[in-house]
C-alpha cells in the first residue's frame, strides 16, 4: 500500500464517525464462538507483523539520529514511552551492548 493510501485509510478509520464501524466479514454478531476463536491466530499474526515492521522502521529512524522525543511525538506518546518501547530493539539491532549506550539513548 502506498503512503498516500495508508494515510487516507488511517484518517478514515480514525475519524470519530467511524468509531463503531465494523469491518466487512468480521462482524462478531454473525459468528459462532468457534469462528471467533478461529480468527484469533490471524489477528495475532497481523499484530506481530505490524509490531515487527514498526520496530524495524524505528531502528532505521534512529540510524538517522532522530531523537526518541521526535519518534514519540510522531506516535502520539512521550519520549520516555517511545524509548521504553523501542530502545532495546534498536540497541540490539545495531550491535550496541548495553547500559552505557542505553543511558545516552535515553537522553536523546
Q: How sure is the predictor about 26, in pLDDT bands with cuts at 50, 70 and 90?
A: low
Cβ atoms of 6 and 12 within 8 Å: the answer is no
Continuous H helices in 1-108: 3-14, 33-63, 68-75, 79-94, 99-107
Cβ atoms of 69 and 81 within 8 Å: the answer is no
* pLDDT in the model for residue 78: 97
Cβ atoms of 105 and 90 within 8 Å: the answer is yes
Q: What is the pTM of this model?
A: 0.56
Amino acid at each position: 500500500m502506498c503512503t498516500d493510501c495508508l494515510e487516507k485509510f488511517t484518517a478514515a478509520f480514525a475519524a470519530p464517525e467511524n468509531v463503531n464501524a465494523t469491518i466487512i466479514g468480521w462482524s462478531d454478531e454473525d459468528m459462532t464462538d468457534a469462528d471467533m476463536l478461529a480468527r484469533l491466530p490471524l489477528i495475532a499474526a497481523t499484530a506481530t507483523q505490524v509490531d515487527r515492521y514498526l520496530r524495524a522502521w524505528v531502528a532505521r529512524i534512529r540510524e538517522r539520529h532522530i531523537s526518541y522525543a521526535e519518534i514519540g511525538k510522531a506516535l502520539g506518546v512521550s519520549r520516555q514511552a517511545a524509548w521504553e518501547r523501542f530502545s532495546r530493539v534498536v540497541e540490539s539491532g545495531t550491535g550496541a551492548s548495553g547500559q552505557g549506550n542505553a543511558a545516552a539513548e535515553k537522553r536523546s
